[in-house]
Amino acid sequence: MEVEKNVTSENSSYNEETTFCDLPVEVVSHILGFLTYEQLSFARAVSKTFDVIARSLLNASFFRLGEQLELAMGNVKKMLPKRESQRRNHSLSRVNEVYSALETRYALLGMTFRKHIDDDSCCFIAGKVRILSLHLEYIGGSFVTY
């Protein structure tokens, strides 16, 4: 009986001393990765640790979007004919135009924020990358896991 009492008191004192921030950074990062981008932006205000982790997740999603956009555009361009006159009448010409517009928008966002992201003075705006990501998923016809 007394042994059980000691075990439970040890467990309860252990739980009181352990906090979420005591978890390894990889675990906290994985857990925060399930938050929406808006929630992640608000989580930055919790602590310096949360700020660093959330900032890296937001910036990584921006760069990942660029890679996905480049890959998807490459796949569409491979399916298009080489001649411009045939390209205009092709069924994927509209998809190619949308990808070009998304690429332009991504490039403009990159020109605006890349210097500040690299200087670590700010992180990327979450809403913009999510909107572009949703457009990319819709146009591609398949949903990409993040």
Smallest CA-to-CA distance from 51 within 63, 64, 40 is with: 40
pLDDT tens by residue, the chain, 146 residues: 444 444 444 555 555 688 888 889 999 999 988 887 778 888 888 888 888 888 888 888 778 888 888 988 888 888 888 887 777 778 788 888 888 888 898 898 888 888 888 887 777 665 555 555 655 555 555 444 33
Give helix 126-140 / helix 93-118 axis angle, nearest 10°. 160
